[in-house]
Amino acid sequence: MAVFEGNFTHTEHLKFAIVSGRFNDLIMSKLMQGCKDALQRHGINVSEIDGQVDYVLVPGSFETPMIARQLAATGNYDAVICLGAVIRGQTPHFDYVAGEAAKGIAAAAFQTGVPIIFGIITADTMQQALERAGIKSNKGWEFGMNALEMASLMQQLRQSDNGIGFALPGDRMTAIAPAKTADPG
């Protein structure tokens, strides 16, 4: 029996995309700083010109899943990180945006087989969001670390000889069920 676990080394070949919503920019900029810091400290070139990360800005968190799916489907990225902030107001708008963003990001990951990190802060108040984006800790760092770990894990599974059930049609990994053999009895 094999044990597979992502790691944070040998990152020189990994490629990432970060999709970030511009809404709640104060929170977003801090999450982006934390995420880039985590990636850079683990060997990722975060330069916007010749780096290992592509950056895509969208209006807000609701738009994030569609772009994340499109990026993941290209096969050019080992992981996609979605960053955003949804802060509760006095209407149900928060519930719709946060819920649909979460569902959309999960669906995109399942559909493409590419890790897509849910890095969207959901908070009841601006104070809570600020605490999660840098005052107490920076969740952006955690989102970057999650992307590194998942990209590494998926790479290990693709390269495994243990019959895990992963194949690479073209350039992108897709989960497949192991072939069943007919029982002659």
Q: Tens of pLDDT along 41-85?
A: 999 999 999 999 999 999 999 999 999 999 999 999 999 999 999
Report how far residue 140's alpha carbon sits from residue 99's, in angstroms, rounded to the nearest whole number: 20
| Token pair 């020189």 in the structure block, residue | 12
Which residue in the list 10, 13, 42, 93 is annotated as catalytic?
93
CATH topology (fold) of 16-175: Rossmann fold (3.40.50)
83 in Cβ contact with 35 (< 8 Å):
yes
Q: pLDDT tier at 2 (50, 70, 90 boundaries)?
A: confident
Report how far residue 148's alpha carbon sits from residue 99's, in angstroms, rounded to the nearest whole number: 25
Report how far residue 65's alpha carbon sits from residue 166's, in angstroms, rounded to the nearest whole number: 24
Q: Between 33 and 172, where is the model more confident?
A: 33
Q: pLDDT tier at 164 (50, 70, 90 boundaries)?
A: low
Look at residue 110 in the predicted model and tell me its pLDDT: 96
Span 14-39, mean pLDDT? 96
Annotated active-site residue 10? The verdict is no
Report how far residue 87's alpha carbon sits from residue 100's, in angstroms, rounded to the nearest whole number: 14
